[in-house]
């Protein structure tokens, strides 16, 4: 049995990854400062999986706390989710974003090396790709020209990790470039429920579906796409969670690697298609109207998923309908609490 430290493990993707790791026979330990999550999520995972999860509530930049975690737990790898992630907020709070996301990574890697922990999986993002690329994103394509400090923080952290892998060959790292994670665990006990009005499409749809918001605004219907609305690569969060288990397994078998790997379905889905799938999966009508384009949106991008399949043996299994059904189920449960 192996033990994995999840930084930011009470968050949306971290909590789902905790489930996948436990399902695959691994133990997990969590550190989170609860800046964008609640302790409840990890308690829900404990209940769901009948497991005990040590949770350290504190900041990743706290070196003493990290020392303590590494001393008290024999850690085989770290999956580094912790970070601030709101694209628009990062534009007016760049210092907070760079300070939090970069400093926490620097402290983490330093403490890992000091404590002989040499395997790292990092939550990167499709946003690191230069927007000028072809819509099908392949790992070797140029990165940069990011549109916000959040994107640049991911770009910079990737470079920091590559530099560290080069300087400290004992370190192995996989940077997972997520596309658009959506949905929730089918139990409905964990999921994504942002505070305030959601910026992202699926959380917004979820809130319209339960009547918390009265209609969806579809930003732009005059793009050069199949139906005029933007196309993205949505991935069920449970599939994404499974990708982390595969990445961890890969690191257990391969020393001294430093890889960037796209994690998406490999297929583009338009906003209109997602709305229709949501209506079908949940047998309901979603009120929507077309609104002007949102500044900065690209018409189309989706993952080339070959590297994930070839290196990690990872493929997605859940459909767009599964994403929509599980997202709605979670939102209904969250609404009642």
Going by C-alpha positions, the residue among 187, 228, 226, 206 that lies closest to residue 281 is: 206
DSSP-assigned letter for residue 292: P
Which CB sits closer to ligand NAD, 65 or 165? Answer: 65
**Shortest-Cβ-distance residue relative to ligand UDP:** 230
Q: Which residues are catalytic?
A: 150
For ligand UDP (CB under 6 A), the number of binding residues is 14
- Rg from Cα positions in the chain: 19
Tell me if 247 sits within 8 A of 315, measured CB to CB. no
Report the site for ligand UDP in 219-248 (rule: CB under 6 A): 219, 230, 232
Give the end-to-end CA distance of the chain in Å, rounded to a whole number: 35
Report the site for ligand NAD in 6-25 (rule: CB under 6 A): 8, 10-14
Write down the number of H helices and E strands in the chain: 11, 15
Binds ligand UDP (CB under 6 A): choice among 204, 248, 302, 330 = 204
Which CB sits closer to ligand UDP, 189 or 216? Answer: 216
Could you tell me which residues come within 8 angstroms of residue 328 by beta carbon, excluding any fewer than 6 positions away? 206, 209, 210, 278, 281, 282
CB of 222 to ligand NAD, least distance (A): 25
Question: What string marks each residue from 43 to 82 as x (binds ligand NAD by CB under 6 A) or -?
Answer: ----------------xxx-------------------xx
| Partner whose footprint covers residue 33, from ligand UDP, ligand NAD, none (CB < 5 to 8 Å by kind) | ligand NAD
Tell me if 23 sits within 8 A of 51, measured CB to CB. no
- The encoded tokens of residue 185 equal 């665990």
* Contacts to ligand UDP by CB under 6 A: 180, 199-201, 204, 216-219, 230, 232, 271, 294, 297
């Amino acid at each position: 049995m192996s033990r994995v430290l999840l930084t930011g493990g009470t968050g949306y993707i971290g909590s789902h990854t905790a489930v996948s790791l436990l399902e695959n026979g691994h133990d997990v330990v969590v550190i989170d400062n609860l800046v964008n999550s609640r302790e409840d999520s990890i308690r829900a995972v404990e209940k769901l999986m009948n497991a005990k999860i040590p949770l350290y509530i504190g900041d990743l930049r706290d070196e003493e706390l990290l020392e303590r975690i590494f001393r008290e737990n024999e850690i085989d790898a770290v999956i580094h989710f912790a970070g601030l992630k709101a694209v628009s907020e990062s534009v007016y709070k760049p210092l907070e974003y760079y300070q939090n996301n970069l400093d926490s990574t620097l402290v983490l890697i330093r403490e890992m090396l000091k404590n002989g922990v040499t395997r790292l999986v990092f939550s990167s993002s499709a946003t690191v790709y230069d927007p000028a690329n072809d819509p099908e994103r392949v790992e070797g394509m140029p990165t940069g020209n990011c549109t916000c400090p959040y994107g640049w923080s991911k770009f910079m952290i990737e470079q920091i990790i590559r530099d560290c892998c080069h300087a400290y060959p004992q370190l192995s790292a996989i940077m997972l470039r997520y596309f658009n994670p959506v949905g929730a665990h089918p139990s409905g006990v964990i999921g994504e429920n942002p505070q305030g009005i959601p910026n992202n499409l699926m959380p917004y749809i979820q809130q319209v579906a339960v009547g918390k918001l009265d209609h969806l605004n579809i930003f732009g219907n005059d793009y050069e796409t199949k139906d005029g609305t933007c196309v993205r690569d949505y991935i069920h969060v449970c599939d994404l969670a499974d990708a982390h288990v595969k990445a961890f397994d890969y690191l257990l078998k391969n020393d001294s690697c430093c890889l960037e790997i796209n994690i998406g379905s490999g297929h583009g889905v338009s906003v209109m298609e997602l709305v229709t799938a949501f209506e079908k999966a949940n047998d309901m009508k979603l009120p929507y109207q077309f609104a002007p384009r949102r500044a900065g949106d690209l018409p189309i991008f989706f993952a080339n998923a070959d590297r994930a399949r070839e290196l990690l043996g990872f493929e997605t299994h859940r459909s767009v309908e599964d994403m929509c059904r599980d997202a709605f189920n979670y939102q209904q449960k969250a609404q009642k609490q």
